[in-house]
Amino acid sequence: MSEKNVALWGGRFEGAPEEALQAFGASLPVDRRLWEQDIAGSRAHAHMLAKQGIISSEDAAAIDAGLGTIAAALEAGEFEFSLADEDIHMSIERALTKLVGDAGRRLHTARSRNDQVATDTRLYVRQQAQALARQLLDVRGTLIRLAQDNAAVIMPGYTHLQKAQPVLFAHHMLAYSWMLTRDFSRMLAARDAADSSPLGAAALAGTGHPLDRAQTAAELGFASVIPNSLDAVSDRDFLLDLIYACTVTMVHLSRLCEELILWSSDEFGFITLSDALSTGSSIMPQKKNPDFAELVRGKTGRVIGDLVGLLTVLKGLPLAYNKDLQEDKEGAFDAIDTLRLSLVAVEGMLATMTVNAEAMRAGAQGGFMAATDLADFLAARGVPFRDAHEVVGRLVLVAEKSGRTLEELTLEELRTASPVFDEEALEALKIENVVARRTSTGGTAPVRVAEQLALAVESLEADKNLLSVR
């Protein structure tokens, strides 16, 4: 058996895996991004081993210096990976042993790759969830600024993608801000779910060495130590939490992007996307395509798949560690990467798009969107709402057959449908009054949207402060 094929666990085996199977079992192409976390975990482990008298202080110092050299090489892109290395943990340990000799061989005392991998992954998830939460704050800020800058713009609101009632554009933008506010909370929950240390659980049952798990947890910044060694090495709930947070956020971004796609079309014309965040056609010179919005919408499916994939991996696993768990990271990394770039794309589109206020207002004039207000007008004057609903329905039919809007009907025509109508009914049909009348809590009336905007700003600032304490 050649030296290059001797694995770190090779003492038990007389033969090495075939090259193809070795590649099949390797996770290095995926987990090499965990090198910073692996070095941090190894340093903490070595410091604790020395403090507990399990290895000498000289060995710990050599390990620490060697890991520093390896970190510098990895940072500079000068680290040489070997095809024989199964994962990033083996790569670093092999390089460390080459640098510092037997001290490097002692590093793995009282540690298994099971708790090592779990530690590295938790450290990475904690870091990435924090970074994604920060990006969510940025997009929320952009949505709030859009609302502030277009506070008086009226647009059609839809149900079933049919015009329903007019709303303020600011109200619409703030709806997405609140979605991302909930996403922020989910992302912090995922970060906190990863904030417990499995290091010291070893393979599954703990170890007979006198470890101080609290010391390594404190050095790595973990809030606590996982109390059960079996759970410590087999738990991937924190990854599910992260991918779920990414998935729901992507669904929200996809819904927003669907609207940006519709609104930027000639049929709507509500917004104009920046040239920098659009693409052209290879054959049609006139085309300006919302490709980045479409990509966010499309990539949402892969993140949903990442969540389903990990759930499927975990559903049948007995305790404790199983090699299936090697499949835990690729989907999680994909979800993180996809969401990160999607947030960049969405923020860029929102920050640079032009809001076409006149087109939005024109859209709000059609579709008989004051119909509910006419019915409410009658109901406020004692007409049972169901009867009022029927009366206004007949008026809509009259307007539709004559090619007019409700606003274009005369008072005489209104009174023909119901003698309860008077001059004030004509005022009720004006689009500004329709919007201003929605004064219930959370409604689209300017006074309520102003209150909501202040609340959104307050929530954003509170969440910024919450994130800054970590």
**Active site amino acids:** 160, 281
Distance (Å, whole) CA 189 – CA 354: 35
DSSP label of 12: G
Q: Provide the strand spans (E) within 248-366.
A: 271-272, 354-355
Give the burial class of 185: count Cβ atoms within 10 A of its Cβ; 0-12 exposed, 13-18 middle, 19 or more buried.
Answer: middle
Measured CA to CA, the distance from residue 456 to residue 67 in angstroms comes to 46
| Burial class of residue 200 (count of CB atoms within 10 Å of its CB; 0-12, 13-18, 19+) | buried
From 224, 21, 206, select the one nearest 122 (Cα to Cα): 224
All residues at 6 or more sequence positions from 119 whose CB lies less than 8 Å from its CB, including other chains: 37, 41, 197, 198, 199, 220
Q: What separation in angstroms does the CA of 341 have from each of 5, 300, 402?
A: 38, 12, 50
Q: Which helix (H) or strand (E) holds 146?
A: helix 113-149
CB 173 within 8 A of CB 255: no
- Torsions phi, psi of 279, nearest 5? -135, 170
Cβ proximity of 51 and 64 under 8 Å: no
What is the C-alpha separation between 61 and 79, in angstroms, rounded?
A: 21
DSSP strands (E only) in 105-238: 154-159, 162-168, 196-197, 224-225
377 neighbors 425 (Cβ within 8 angstroms): yes
| Euclidean distance between CA atoms 345 and 180, whole angstroms | 15
What burial class does residue 409 get, using C-beta atoms within 10 Å of its C-beta: 0-12 exposed, 13-18 middle, 19+ buried?
buried
In whole angstroms, what is the distance from residue 136 CA to residue 144 CA?
Answer: 12
End-to-end CA distance of the chain: 49
Q: In the structure encoding, which two tokens stand for residue 105, read together?
A: 């061989």
Distance from the Cα of residue 384 to its chain's centroid: 47
